[in-house]
Amino acid sequence: MDARVVRERSSLVWEKLETDLARFRKFLRSLLRNRIALAGLVVVAFFGVLAVVGPVLVGPYPTTFDKDDPLLEPSDRHLLGTDIQGFDNLVILVYGSRISLIIGLVSASVAMVVGTLIGLVGGFYGGALDQMFARFTDFFLVIPWLPFAIVLSVILGPGLTTTITAIAIVSWPTTARIVRSQVLSLRERLFIERARAIGAGNGHILFRHILPNVMPLVFAQAILTISVAIFTEAFLSFFGLGPPGTISWGKMIEDSWSALALLRGMWWYFGPPGLSITLVVLGFSMLSYGLEEVLNPRLKRR
């Protein structure tokens, strides 16, 4: 390849990169101008930072040596009191943010990859394959999510992998359905026909033309799935089916409930973890809501 062609090609790549970057900046600006999305982003960022730098603030992961008397009231030593085992509630709360966010991110990623692939392939190729995938998706959609996750957790045995698997299995169908319907309409568009006319193969069209166009949708859906995953983890932990030996917000609420914190009036025990879950889920929901307003051209028009 002679130098001139290389130069031309690289300048083309640069041009593409620049327009992409400009588009991304424009998107980011309109996202940040959306107050709901901005507020959601702030809340999520707060908990993200807390999960990362938390240990600096509250000290290392608590061990048996850090135990105090159980069920103490809030004091200078323990700002949120102590739990049923004598651990400091604030420390538990901060470490709980890690497990909730990790489970949320990992299981949502798995669900997104599976859901997007099934929706993409089914919607694009159509025919019997699509029919099969669509039935398969619909089938998993009707299965009520919590009973199914509970049964899966009982059968696979509680553990981090089980929790993530259970969440991924119950949350991929929504994505698959959304992606499929989007692909069905994209497939008929002119630019796909154009790509085909200049000799592009199926794989190229699928990953270079269709996938980039469904990504914004998948992204909004992923954020929603993260909040569902955080919810599910809390529910499973509350059922006593969460990963054993880990600290999580759901487990904390379950502990406070079985320690009768309610009847003892210990609002500082069951209050903060529930509030944290609410804030994180709210943050992600607001972000997703804002994203939809920004990405959906039909809503923008008004």
List of residues contacting other proteins (CB under 8 A): 138-139, 141-148, 150-152, 154-156, 227, 231, 234-235, 238-241, 250, 253, 257, 262-263, 265, 267, 270-271, 274, 277-279, 281-282, 285-286, 289, 298-299, 302
Residue 74 and residue 81 in contact, taking contact as beta carbons nearer than 8 Å? yes
Tell me how far the alpha carbon of residue 120 is from its chain's centroid.
20
Residue (54 or 273) nearer to other proteins, CB: 273
Distance CA 105, CA 149 (A): 18
- Nearest approach in angstroms of CB 60 to other proteins is 28
Would you list the DSSP string of 65-128?
A: GG--STTPPP-SS-TT-B-TTS-BHHHHHHHHHHHHHHHHHHHHHHHHHHHHHHHHHHHHH-HH
- Nearest approach in angstroms of CB 211 to other proteins is 26
- In sequence order, what are the residues at sequence separation of 6 or more whose Cβ sits closer than 8 angstroms to the Cβ of residue 229? 103, 104, 107, 108, 111, 167, 171
CA-to-CA dists, residue 128 to 51, 113, 117, 271, angstroms: 46, 22, 16, 51
Residue (45 or 143) nearer to other proteins, CB: 143
CB count within 10 Å of CB 41 equals 18
- Nearest approach in angstroms of CB 271 to other proteins is 8
Residue (150 or 200) nearer to other proteins, CB: 150
- Nearest approach in angstroms of CB 252 to other proteins is 11
Residue (206 or 253) nearer to other proteins, CB: 253
CB count within 10 Å of CB 54 equals 19
Residue (139 or 219) nearer to other proteins, CB: 139
- Nearest approach in angstroms of CB 281 to other proteins is 4
Residue 96 and residue 230 in contact, taking contact as beta carbons nearer than 8 Å? no
Residue (196 or 235) nearer to other proteins, CB: 235
SS (H, E, C) 232-293: HHHHHHHCCCCCCCCCCHHHHHHHHHHCCCCCCCCHHHHHHHHHHHHHHHHHHHHHHHHHHH
- Nearest approach in angstroms of CB 76 to other proteins is 25
- Nearest approach in angstroms of CB 64 to other proteins is 27
Phi, psi (rounded to 5 degrees) for 255: -55, -45
Residue (27 or 239) nearer to other proteins, CB: 239
Residue (211 or 233) nearer to other proteins, CB: 233
- Nearest approach in angstroms of CB 153 to other proteins is 9
